[in-house]
A and B are shown apart, each in its own frame.
Chain A
Amino acid sequence: SQELEQSPQSLIVQEGKNLTINCTSSKTLYGLYWYKQKYGEGLIFLMMLQKGGEEKSHEKITAKLDEKKQQSSLHITASQPSHAGIYLCGADTGNQFYFGTGTSLTVIP
């Protein structure tokens, strides 16, 4: 979606390495969502951010929303093979939810 730019499109990392995925909107957002998806399956909810400057963590995954509420990053520390999958950001722009095109993450043992 042009409303939401997600980068990079794909990542291949060695197990144990850190990585960051970015999501940028041209609009100020009401909410920003991060999901993980295995091919052909539903989206697993990871985190939701609503306030400017907000940061949330779950296990080794941390997500941040900038002060202007237009940019978010998802950071994985010490990646593991279980982190592999497609990561999608979603944004509430006020009248609907938009989604990025996804980042395919491969973790090499």
Chain B
Amino acid sequence: KAGVTQTPRYLIKTRGQQVTLSCSPISGHRSVSWYQQTPGQGLQFLFEYFSETQRNKGNFPGRFSGRQFSNSRSEMNVSTLELGDSALYLCASSLGPSGSTDTGELFFGEGSRLTVL
């Protein structure tokens, strides 16, 4: 079956703009989590969604937001982009949420590489 699909793969924006990234989980997976990866900070947790509800949010400003749809697809939005938002944004999907006996394996997409100029 198809893996986790993230779009777009690459994008370039300028400071002050906003961006929306999309993540389609593996079929049947209801949990989606998002991460920001930068060379200096490694993988930083952004949000986790399960059944359209945000379960947790990482330590990021309010400019970072997300949502999950009834088909488990998820989007994240970053408004008023800053240079420091340049990063690889990864999403991962699993059957169940973190802390559940049904979590199962956690699979990642290829990521969306955002460059802010």
A82 touches B (CB below 8 Å): no
Contact at B106–A48, with CB atoms within 8 Å?
Answer: yes
Contact at A99–B43, with CB atoms within 8 Å?
Answer: yes
Contact at A41–B111, with CB atoms within 8 Å?
Answer: yes
Which residues of chain B have C-beta atoms less than 8 A from A52's C-beta? Answer: none
B92 touches A (CB below 8 Å): yes
Which residues of chain B have C-beta atoms less than 8 A from A102's C-beta? Answer: 42
Given contacts A40-B113, A93-B98, A95-B55, contact A35 B108 (CB under 8 A): yes
Docked pose: A45 CA to B26 CA in angstroms: 14
Find residues 34-66 in chain B having any chain A CB closer than 8 Å to their own CB: 35, 42-45, 48, 55-56, 58
Residue on B nearest A30 in the bound complex, by CB: B99
Docked pose: A90 CA to B37 CA in angstroms: 14
B115 → A minimal CB distance (Å): 12
Contact at A97–B111, with CB atoms within 8 Å?
Answer: no
Contact count band on B = 20 to 34
| Pair count A-B, CB < 8 A | 68
B25 touches A (CB below 8 Å): no
Contact at A96–B45, with CB atoms within 8 Å?
Answer: yes
A27 → B minimal CB distance (Å): 11
Docked pose: A84 CA to B51 CA in angstroms: 37
Contact at B99–A94, with CB atoms within 8 Å?
Answer: yes
Among candidates B33, B104, B113, residue contacting A96 with C-beta atoms closer than 8 Å:
B33
Docked pose: A24 CA to B67 CA in angstroms: 32
Docked pose: A102 CA to B58 CA in angstroms: 20
Residue on A nearest B99 in the bound complex, by CB: A94
B21 touches A (CB below 8 Å): no
Which residues of chain B have C-beta atoms less than 8 A from A93's C-beta? Answer: 98-99
B81 touches A (CB below 8 Å): no
Contact at A94–B98, with CB atoms within 8 Å?
Answer: yes
Q: List 24 A-B contacts (CB under 8 A).
A: A30-B99, A30-B100, A33-B106, A40-B88, A41-B111, A42-B110, A42-B111, A43-B90, A45-B105, A45-B107, A45-B108, A48-B105, A90-B43, A94-B98, A95-B99, A96-B33, A96-B45, A96-B55, A96-B98, A97-B33, A97-B106, A99-B35, A99-B42, A99-B43
